[in-house]
Amino acid sequence: MNLIIFGAPGAGKGTQSNNIINDFDLKQVSTGDLLRSEIKIKTELGKKIESIINNGELVSDDVVNALIKKIISDPKNFNRLIFDGYPRTILQVYALEKLLKEFNQKISIVFSLNVNKDIVSKRANGRVICNRCLRIFNIYLNPPNSKNHKCEKKYLEKRTDDDRKTILNRYETYVVKTKPILDYYDKKRFLVKIDGNQKIVEIYDKIKGILENIRD
Ligand code: AP5
Ligand code: MG
């Protein structure tokens, strides 16, 4: 099955995708992670998109769709993708539909994590990510410890777009450009809305219960 995890910045898309890949043979595709890795290794694309990401705006649809095409077209990924943070515009929705059709696949379910605006900056403020295993933690809400994280502490980093001003811009961008595409998935009847203000484990229990009953 392929699925989408949808939600505002800090809604928990990456956290829940991390949980899902521990239990299911699926692969997480975070367009944010893919773009950050271009910046980190200083590719031509990375240089072009760095300021866009640090301003909390969206990278162009063409760039993101091209990254996604590489992944969907790879036979290793056939029908086992979790789209985290993609699609984010209606043009990305159409591009994804076209690609999935071309490679004989579909989306089985869309999880939408709904969170209150005031929670978003609190979560972003405390977030640290391990740049080795890519696990996501929060120094206040979900701290890394010897049980949940095996890599050395030196790999834990903050994201450059998690400062207060950028997170508010990211939230605004989400409301204006991304949230409206939920209507599209609602009409297709495979949208599951989940209260993302709950505890990580409570949210995951719901997601897991639903995924265990999907057989394609
Ligand atoms: P991206 O990396 O996707 O960022 P985002 O959408 O803003 O979402 P986040 O990664 O901030 O939040 P998340 O929902 O994954 O939350 P997380 O699990 O980490 O994109 C970054 C940028 O790249 C964009 O702004 C844009 O510029 C560009 N981009 C990416 N995709 C694009 C696209 N398709 N098109 C165009 N441009 C694109 O959790 C957050 C924190 O909260 C963590 O610390 C976590 O431990 C904690 N937490 C999570 N859940 C809970 C919970 N239930 N309770 C308590 N704490 C929790
Ligand atoms: Mg994320």
pLDDT (tens, 9 = 90+) of the chain, 216 residues, equals 999 999 999 999 999 999 999 999 999 999 999 999 999 999 999 999 999 999 999 999 999 999 999 999 999 999 999 999 999 999 999 999 999 999 999 999 999 999 999 999 999 999 999 999 989 999 999 999 999 999 999 999 999 999 999 999 999 999 999 999 999 999 987 999 999 999 999 999 999 999 999 876
pTM of the complete model beyond 0.85: yes
For the beta sheet containing 3-7, the strands, ordered from the edge strand earlier in sequence to the opposite edge, are 27-30, 81-84, 3-7, 109-114, 191-195
Nearest ligand (C-alpha, residue 122) = 1
Nearest ligand (C-alpha, residue 5) = 1
Q: Is 85 in the pocket of ligand 1 (CB under 6 A)?
A: yes
Q: What is residue 51's predicted lDDT score, i.e. its pLDDT? A: 96
Q: How far is the CA of 215 from the centre of ligand 2 (A)?
A: 26
Q: How far is the CA of 7 from the centre of ligand 1 (A)?
A: 8
Q: Is 17 in the pocket of ligand 1 (CB under 6 A)?
A: no
Q: Is 166 in the pocket of ligand 1 (CB under 6 A)?
A: no
Q: Is 46 in the pocket of ligand 1 (CB under 6 A)?
A: no
Beta carbons within 8 Å of 13's beta carbon, 6+ residues apart:
5, 6, 7, 30, 84, 85, 113
The whole-angstrom separation of Cα 111 and Cα 151 is 30
DSSP state, residue 24? S
Q: How far is the CA of 142 from the centre of ligand 1 (A)?
A: 15
Q: What is residue 189's predicted lDDT score, i.e. its pLDDT? A: 79
CB atoms within 5 A of ion ligand 2 belong to: 13-14
Q: What is the DSSP string of 63-75?
A: HHHHHHHHHHT-G
Amino acid letter, 175: V
